[in-house]
Structure 1
Amino acid sequence: MRKFLGAGALALILSCSGAASGQANSGEIRLHIAGPQQQGVRASVDLTSGGNQYQNRFTTSASGTADLSALPYGIYLVRVQAPGFTTVTRTIEVRTAFPIDYALRLDVAPVTTTVEVNEAATLVDPHDPSSTMQIGTTQIGNRVNSLPGRSVQDLVNSQPGWLYEGNAVLHPRGSEYQTQFVIDGIPLTDNRSPSFGPDIEADDLDSMSIYTAGFPAEYGRKMGGVVEMNTRRETSPGLHGQVVLAGGSYDTASSYAQAQQVWGRNTFGASAAGNMTSHYLNPVVPQNFTNNGTAGDFSLRFDRDLTASDTLRMSVRHELSRYQIPNEFVQQDAGQRQYGDNFETMGTVLYQHIFSPDVLADFSGMVRNNSNDLYSNPDSTPIIAFQHNYFNEGYFKGAVSFHEGRQEWKAGIESDAMFLHEKFSYTITNPDDFDDGTPLTAAFTGNRPDLEQSAFVQDMIRLGDWTISAGLRWDHYQLLLNQNAVSPRITIGKFFQKPGIVLHASYDRVFQTPSFENILISSSNFASTLNPDFLHLPVQPSKGNYYEGGLTKGFSKNLRLDMNIYRRDVRNYADDDQLLNTGVSYPIAFDKAIIYGAEAKVDLVQWQKLSGFASYSYQVGNAWYPVTGGLFLGDDVSDAETQLRGHFPDSQDQRNTLRLRFQYDLLPRVWFAGGMNYGSGLPFEFDGDQQQAAEEYGPDVINRINFNRGRVDPSLDVNASLGLDLYKSDRMKMNMQADGTNLNDRLNVIDFGGLFSGNAIAPGRSFFVRLKTSF
């Protein structure tokens, strides 16, 4: 079913910087740099990993120590430099959640070391059995500028297997509302698109790991895709920070500021951001009617290493967004104005204790309050809608990790209690657009707890060139239904040394809980007051079997190829529908879905002055009748009851997707980048005829629609960037980046549907400038 950008707004927020074991597959390096007499040396440390797209620079303390945390598993090249000493390079493998204590001795110049390090060794990790995609510091820093609320989503959408439908709503491999973001170890399973609240600022991130298969048993509930995000945490003593100012087309202006003070075992940080634009959501017509939006957030964070074995981290964040709902022609002519907003306050705490070199435990918790609203003025047509939804959430997770020989075990429990409150009312202003007998006014109020618990155990086993990740997860879901499930997971990788290839295969059993947005109103007796002809079926959790096979191959020290084929078999396939013509969406489900495809990505880490990537995705997805869950009214009831067989393309069935971006260093401080995004087009449904569609959306949109094929025409977006390092010293860096997007100025229709059902028009030719200062 099609999506319309409704009034709900759930914020994508930052949590505290988690400990090394907060993420499923990340670790920590504790460096100690010493001179010939074992005295501590203040040194500059460059840490890079070609395979993880990671590059960063640190400065050790006066005693020669540095704590490099939240590092995705992989092989890292460490280069240490200090005045008067020789430069030393080493490779360090991060394979465990346990901190790695690593000591390096520097010799006095001109004595040289005899250690030879091949940078190609970091390009392919022979002990990584998964197809996890990595986004590192360079790609984050040099990304194309995004409209407010989309910086992280745009980065994820650049990876194979992901695509947008509507307002930057991410869909991994055909899944609907089944993406979870894990921010420093805290999972957030609500919708993260701009229409549901402001997002995390990409400038605050250090690295990202993206899963679409080979999921650790630690993750559950929303399993279309998992996006791990590690926020930046300074380790060098003193004051550090960054200020980012950006602006450009559509009256867009953004600001972000962040500072961290490090002293002793303490780190105190604060950040603030604000932005505004006249293109906050994707409009339904090219004219971009009523689309202003503003967003802002403020956060505080405190970290303290209580002892060498105990770490405490806390944070609090408040976010808000306010935006208009875009009009189509009929609504604009009538004078409709609809507004949405979101407010969220969240606090997190994490404590980690290391019992021994082989055993550690971490405990994390979160509390948050989120509210979102929809308002409509009296001129709204065909309906005036009001909504006030909010929830209070409490989350807890405890896990123990232990190392034994060639195995890395982790076991834990988690509990999430969310108390939902929904309030909705409407007044119909144009009865001709509704079924006969639909009440002209109605109201609903409801509340209910959503209680979910889980337990998991997982093991990473390394046997020579073989690596096996095996896990088992138990989930309990209690909202409208009370269900339990056990989900086994296994991933196997084999490294072939001579050709330098890693072959991998995975199987994931998943248990996906329904989206909770507006689930109370759609499952209540309120439906019987809207239409005497209604059908209500409780939405079952989705259960699926995911299969994947693939390979990773390195060429020389610069080029890396990843290829995967996959298939997903899902029962009670999750989708969504909308209540009347309000844009208030709620979950539904179909009997099953089968989604399969192939993906490939080539990363050019650095070849002389050139770097970049190219990715391609082929995907086929179909869903099968009958419907097995959700609310249906009027004519939709007979369709739901009589359509018992057959299948149709799922709404994310885009067969071909191509993305690429390459950067060339023109001068030591000047670079140029160019790229493109191509999509072969999504399927659509429209109840009316072509003439009706032209009257509602205009000929420009209709010319980009193929009614015979039932698909949107292909999209193409060409972009280019120019970067300049304005100033660079040991203490401060200042750079500027200018971006141009959709330089071909093509009218790209992302999604198309009926009245109020979710047309989405991509931005036209746009230009942006970003100025970033780091210290």
Structure 2
Amino acid sequence: MPTRTPFPTSALVHARAYSGARGGPLWCALAVLLLAVGSPPGVALAQTTAMVGGVVRDVQGGVLPGATVMLSRPLTGFERTTSTDASGTFRLANIPFDTYALVIEFPGFVTATRVVEARSTVPVTFEVTLDLGGQSTSVVVSPGPPLLDTTSAGTRHTLSVARIETLPVASGSRGLEAVLVSFPGFAQNANGAIHPRGAHNQMTYVVDGLPISDQLTGAFANALDVGVVETLELITGNVPAEFGSKISGVAVVTSRSGAGTGRRLAGSTSVSASGFGTVQGTVQGGGERGRAGYFLSATGLRTGRFLDQVSLDNLHNDGAFGRAFVRTDVRLGGNAILRVNAMGGRSAFDVANLRSQQAAGQDQRQRLGDTAAWVSYLHPLGATATVESTAGYRTATADLRDSPGDTPVTASQDRRLATLTATVRYSRIVGRHRLRTGADVQRTPLREHFSMGITAPGFNDPLDPHYNAALAPHDLSRGGRPFTFAGAATGLVLAGFAEATLRWSQATVTLGLRHDTYDLLVRERQLQPRVGVSQTLPDTWGVVRASYNRNLQTPPNENLLLSSSASAAALAPQTVREALGGAYRPLRPERQQVVEVGYQRAFGDRATLDVSAYRKWSVDQQDNNNFFDTGIIFPTTLAALHVTGVEGRVSFREVRRVSGSLSVSGGRAIATPPFTGGLFLGQDAVDLLSSGPFPIDHDQRLSVHGTAHYDPVGPAWLSVSVRYDSGLVANPSDPATVAADPDYADLLPYVDLLAETSRVRPRTIVDAAAGIDVGTSGRRTWSAQVQVTNVTNRTALYNFQSVFVGTRLVQPRTFAVRLTRHF
């Protein structure tokens, strides 16, 4: 058996969120930080991974060095292999939480297979005895891990590097979102943006224990590099109490590590080329030496289509980016591990032009940057408990540069966001039960500078019925002056949680409680119960589950100060100001309640079905206003949001060399005004949307995403992805007005403006990839891959003149080739 109060803002703002009068929260933050960085030496991988180890012996008790040990989860493609050392021991680290099959082989002995539940940072250890071949064995032999997750009361999906590498992900500047969109519950949007379960983009990415809640899409920030991912777990239902901030979806990323590879250096170099003049190069390498493991990845790209284009013509859309990632693991005494991570990226790109902007000579350019470094440490407390700690620092910058030809509005931006994070976790195993508790602190200094002015005389014409008199002082075409804003503030979030997972017979109950204190321009506190139950049904009929979560979702930090300022509120259309009673209101966190029910069932050992239905009620719903088609976003809130949805996923294990998945999602998301925040200029739809409840732009009735992978005997493989989207909500524009506008007239066939709710028309996009892997002695030496994005060359829209995200088109058919040398 295994062992185991609002602050004033203005056009020039410098708000300091803390003073000596607030010593209580500040001292709490300092205490957590000291615990995080000053834990006693000697931890395993923080927050997101497990460790499996043990000793292999023969029936006489002698150790068996050189035995092959393999840990696998076929449904997700995860597989890890090692060998026992001279003392017969083995160790597998960096294991994502899940249930696995452990297979141990040694020549002349009976193969032993165990089911391993690795769902905690507490190490799981085995002592396995192998019988000689031909003799009876006392080792329990299992056909493999159960296909169903019988211990979770929420919705979770997992993919490993083996599956991710062969997904036909579109070339260009997309990141991890291109993989996540294959899971159910997501509405796909432009530039890699994804909407989890009716939310705008309220996702948290936990990368090797570091939580990142920035908006990681190509237009607004540098996306995470999918090439460094070992496994990816998505949580959308019954989110554990340890996660906070933005949790409509939580993506737990376990990165690649050199620990356990048994080699000093192994890796790859690759080069790829595709349409729009796209070229990309990547270098990755890692290994281990003594007690240290190391991994490095660096990639760079240049393309003529950096973002999704805003018209049928791909105008002014060049861009480039570079990213690097480093990870080091050091094994200390007593199964303790110290891990150090660092990553960063830079991108520089043109802001895509409409035809009129191209003709006017608009030449706006944007630069984005981010850096992060964090240290994680886990210290085992005997055989059944661990203490973990993580401390990290992350910065993100954005710089928009204007040009003399800007139309209809000129704008510039310079903002900086930094996040200091510290976390502490205590985990304990008591029989079949698990306990996890901890505390978090995040300190967030913000700095913003923004200016804008109207340059087109017809944009805010005084004779127009939608004329906004508040913009007149900033109409440069009529002698006005630019609107300018500069602000700085520092925010603090304190959180504590406790969660117990209790198991009795065929039932599992999770009892979680979280408390958050949010302090940035406003102060909010929320106690958040998160409870769930799952029950395994008799006779292989599956597993049913139900959960209730209360969540506090914090506002986006990007341009939060401007969006929450009185000066920005003064520019809002009259209808919005009237709806707010003429009062200035800073953005507040979203308070949310979520109920979910679900069902899982396995069909033999070949496929699994996971379906769920959910309902969300939100107050002060978070969203964004995209400033025209630039890379500038302004946070907004609406009074309320009600979301109802159903989703399901069928995962197929490999049968006759074919495996795959089918994800289906459907839902409704109805928002209730008034708006708060944002910077809505010349967008007539705001008047209409302020009049009553309306389907938010990420309301989509149906999406279907299927993947299939064919891996014949031999070095070749084939992968296909098919996605259908029924269409997101579009701006309720007048068709006659659109037809008379040369920037948008040719997009009319791809949007339905006569429907009760205007939507972009349905689309089906097919992507395909094929590759060949050549190697010797079971190791790849060369790989080649060909990919076609949008095989049928379908012209389609992600969105159209949206108040929230503007207009963007789906990537046209694009061919790509990649050559990789493995070493």
- On whether the aligned pair clears a TM of 0.5, the verdict is yes
CA distance in 2, matches of 1:699, 1:331: 15
The count of aligned residue pairs is 755
Q: Which moved more, 1:209-218 or 1:31-40?
A: 31-40
When residues 110 and 670 of structure 1 are mapped into structure 2, their CA distance, relative to the original with a 3 A threshold, is farther
Alignment of 1:236 with 2:284, yes or no, is no
Match of 2:529 among 451, 463, 488: 488
Alignment of 1:598 with 2:633, yes or no, is no
When residues 200 and 91 of structure 1 are mapped into structure 2, their CA distance, relative to the original with a 3 A threshold, is same
SS of residue paired to 1:196: coil
Match of 2:216 among 173, 188, 192: 192
When residues 422 and 22 of structure 1 are mapped into structure 2, their CA distance, relative to the original with a 3 A threshold, is same
Give how far 1:626 is off.
Answer: 3.0
- Whether the 8 Å CA contact 1:60–1:236 is kept in 2: the answer is no
Give matches, 1:282-297, under 5 Å: 282-297=308-323
- Which string of whole-angstrom CA distances, capped at 9 and with x for unpartnered residues, describes residues 394-451 of structure 1? 1100111122233211111100001000011234322431345232323221100121
CA distance in 2, matches of 1:236, 1:447: 47
Q: Which moved more, 1:601-610 or 1:570-579?
A: 570-579
- Whether the 8 Å CA contact 1:237–1:264 is kept in 2: the answer is no
Per the alignment, residue 730 of structure 2 pairs with 684
Per the alignment, residue 654 of structure 1 pairs with 700
CA distance in 2, matches of 1:195, 1:657: 24
The code of the aligned residue for 1:27 comes to A
SS of residue paired to 2:176: helix
Taking structure 2 as the reference length, the TM-score comes to: 0.86
Give matches, 1:404-415, under 5 Å: 404-415=430-441
CA distance in 2, matches of 1:774, 1:210: 29
Per the alignment, residue 616 of structure 2 pairs with 568
- Which string of whole-angstrom CA distances, capped at 9 and with x for unpartnered residues, describes residues 76-130 of structure 1? 1122345666544332222432111123345666778575745454312333332
- Cα RMSD of the aligned pairs, angstroms, is 2.7
Give matches, 1:440-589, under 5 Å: 440=476, 441-527=482-568, 536-578=584-626, 584-589=632-637
SS of residue paired to 1:438: helix
The code of the aligned residue for 1:205 comes to V
- Whether the 8 Å CA contact 1:261–1:268 is kept in 2: the answer is yes
Unaligned runs of 5+ in 2: 1-41, 461-467, 477-481
- Whether the 8 Å CA contact 1:271–1:300 is kept in 2: the answer is yes
CA distance in 1, matches of 2:149, 2:235: 16
CA distance in 2, matches of 1:622, 1:638: 16
CA distance in 1, matches of 2:310, 2:548: 40
- Whether the 8 Å CA contact 2:721–2:766 is kept in 1: the answer is yes
Per the alignment, residue 391 of structure 1 pairs with 417
Per the alignment, residue 159 of structure 1 pairs with 183
SS of residue paired to 2:191: coil
Per the alignment, residue 15 of structure 1 pairs with none
Identity rate, percent:
27
Per the alignment, residue 774 of structure 2 pairs with 726
- Whether the 8 Å CA contact 1:338–1:376 is kept in 2: the answer is yes
SS of residue paired to 1:195: coil
CA distance in 2, matches of 1:634, 1:749: 23
SS of residue paired to 2:747: helix
Q: Which moved more, 1:295-304 or 1:462-471?
A: 295-304
Match of 2:799 among 751, 764, 767: 751
Give how far 1:220 is off.
Answer: 0.8
Per the alignment, residue 129 of structure 1 pairs with 153
Alignment of 1:89 with 2:150, yes or no, is no
Give how far 1:579 is off.
Answer: 5.3
When residues 79 and 770 of structure 1 are mapped into structure 2, their CA distance, relative to the original with a 3 A threshold, is farther
Q: Which moved more, 1:74-83 or 1:537-546?
A: 74-83
Give how far 1:73 is off.
Answer: 3.3
- Whether the 8 Å CA contact 1:549–1:565 is kept in 2: the answer is yes
Unaligned runs of 5+ in 1: 1-17
Give how far 1:252 is off.
Answer: 1.9
Give how far 1:686 is off.
Answer: 4.4
Q: Which moved more, 1:129-138 or 1:359-368?
A: 129-138
Give how far 1:632 is off.
Answer: 6.2
Per the alignment, residue 618 of structure 1 pairs with 666
CA distance in 1, matches of 2:490, 2:361: 39
SS of residue paired to 2:333: coil
Match of 2:241 among 186, 194, 217: 217
- Whether the 8 Å CA contact 1:194–1:281 is kept in 2: the answer is yes
SS of residue paired to 1:125: coil
When residues 333 and 501 of structure 1 are mapped into structure 2, their CA distance, relative to the original with a 3 A threshold, is same
CA distance in 1, matches of 2:637, 2:340: 39
- Whether the 8 Å CA contact 1:131–1:214 is kept in 2: the answer is yes
CA distance in 2, matches of 1:266, 1:495: 42
CA distance in 2, matches of 1:74, 1:399: 19
When residues 693 and 453 of structure 1 are mapped into structure 2, their CA distance, relative to the original with a 3 A threshold, is farther
Match of 1:365 among 382, 385, 391: 391
CA distance in 1, matches of 2:83, 2:819: 24
Give how far 1:267 is off.
Answer: 1.5
When residues 95 and 419 of structure 1 are mapped into structure 2, their CA distance, relative to the original with a 3 A threshold, is closer
Per the alignment, residue 630 of structure 1 pairs with 677
When residues 86 and 263 of structure 1 are mapped into structure 2, their CA distance, relative to the original with a 3 A threshold, is farther
SS of residue paired to 1:752: strand
- Whether the 8 Å CA contact 1:747–1:762 is kept in 2: the answer is yes
The code of the aligned residue for 1:154 comes to A
- Whether the 8 Å CA contact 1:560–1:604 is kept in 2: the answer is yes
When residues 81 and 687 of structure 1 are mapped into structure 2, their CA distance, relative to the original with a 3 A threshold, is same
Q: Which moved more, 1:379-388 or 1:89-98?
A: 89-98
Match of 1:30 among 53, 59, 78: 53
SS of residue paired to 1:521: helix
Alignment of 1:735 with 2:789, yes or no, is no
